[in-house]
């Protein structure tokens, strides 16, 4: 079964599938980080971010908020 699973992972997953997997892992990592912060008594307020300087030429912004 392990060999079949590894074959599926290496041959049958498209880029769209990998993007979904990594997005889910990212969300999981953010949740775990927040839970750990609560356990140690860290503030639950979102971090303030400093905007980056304008690029030349300006590129469109895809995300307005990035979680800490």
In the block, residue with structure tokens 């892992």: 25
Residue-range domain boundaries for the chain: 14-41
| Per-residue model confidence (pLDDT) at position 63 | 52
| Per-residue model confidence (pLDDT) at position 28 | 92
As a whole number, mean pLDDT of residues 12-16 equals 83
The per-residue pLDDT for range 18-46, each reduced to its tens digit, is 888 899 999 999 899 888 888 888 766 66
| Per-residue model confidence (pLDDT) at position 18 | 86
Answer yes or no: is pLDDT of 59 > 70.
no
- Residues 6 or more apart whose CB falls under 8 angstroms from that of 10 comprise none
pTM: 0.47
């Amino acid at each position: 079964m392990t060999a079949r699973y590894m074959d599926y992972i290496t041959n049958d997953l498209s880029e769209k599938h990998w993007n979904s997997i990594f997005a889910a892992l990212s969300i999981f990592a953010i949740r775990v980080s927040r839970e750990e912060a609560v356990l140690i008594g860290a503030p639950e307020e979102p971090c303030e971010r400093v905007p980056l300087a304008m690029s030349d030429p300006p590129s469109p912004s895809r995300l307005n908020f990035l979680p800490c």
